[in-house]
Amino acid sequence: MISYTLPADWPTDEKAARAVQDELRTRVVVDEPGPPPGTGHVTGVDVAYDDERDIVAAAVVVLDAATLDVVEEATAVGTVAFSYVPGLLAFREIPTVLTALRRLTADPGLVVCDGYGVAHPRRFGLASHLGVLTGLATMGIAKNPFTFAYEAPAAPRGSASPLLDGTEEVGRALRTREGVKPVFVSAGHRVTLDNACAHALRLTPRYRLPESTRRADALCRSALREATG
């Protein structure tokens, strides 16, 4: 069941947020392969902030998974109700992201977030949180390894190495461009890590970062400029 509704008891402080994480983290589904790469839709999600006025702009961009052409776009502007705390990013971004998703008429398909899924201290990063709340298949692609360890993947595009929390592989450092710093992929909800990496490669025919997040990044920035000035 797909729902873009923000829970009524959305937390506003760290303690409540951690309690919410502990309750929802048990609902993450990791035994579904997820949509096959190149089929259906892939939706990029990103947000931009104006720290001066506590404003946040979210953008969702639906792409045709086969051609990477834009199918539909939507934005939303809201108030930041949670400060940045590493590990609690979801509480800062999700409210406005849900509003943007609500404005979509197309099926989002697989949602690609700018950040982590289960590669998270509590195995419940932004992508997993969004997945559990909506029921959508989600994954995360981050630009930094957060607190996790990894060995540099081989130079060729497509090379990967495990992203480790101790001895547990929580994600993968994936080389999307030859000889360029890898991106950090993790499963969010209802997708496999292997499948998430396959999607990540299909989304990066030209740049290090996936087309989905590049598109969403550009859109949320312009939405923020429009809302601010």
If the CB atoms of residues 65 and 90 are measured against DNA, the closer one turns out to be 90
Query: Does residue 51 interact with DNA by CB under 7 A?
Result: yes
Query: Does residue 90 interact with DNA by CB under 7 A?
Result: yes
Quick one: three-class SS letters along the chain? Answer: CCCCCCCCCCCCCHHHHHHHHHHHHHHCCCCCCCCCCCCCEEEEEEEEEECCCCEEEEEEEEEECCCCCEEEEEEEEEECCCCCCCCCCHHHHHHHHHHHHHCCCCCCCEEEECCCCCCCCCCCCHHHHHHHHHCCEEEEEECCCCCCECCCCCCCCCCEEEEEECCEEEEEEECCCCCCCCEEEEEEECCCHHHHHHHHHHCCCCCCCCHHHHHHHHHHHHHHHHHHC
Residue 46 marked as a ligand binder = yes
Among 77, 98, 110, 126, interactor with DNA by CB under 7 A: 126
If the CB atoms of residues 27 and 143 are measured against DNA, the closer one turns out to be 143
Query: Does residue 88 interact with DNA by CB under 7 A?
Result: yes
Query: Does residue 123 interact with DNA by CB under 7 A?
Result: no
Piece in contact with DNA (CB under 7 A), picked from 1-9, 29-37, 65-73, 124-132: 124-132
Residue 114 marked as a ligand binder = yes
Chain residues in the site for DNA (CB under 7 A): 46-49, 51, 84, 86-90, 114-116, 120, 125-127, 140, 142-147, 221, 224
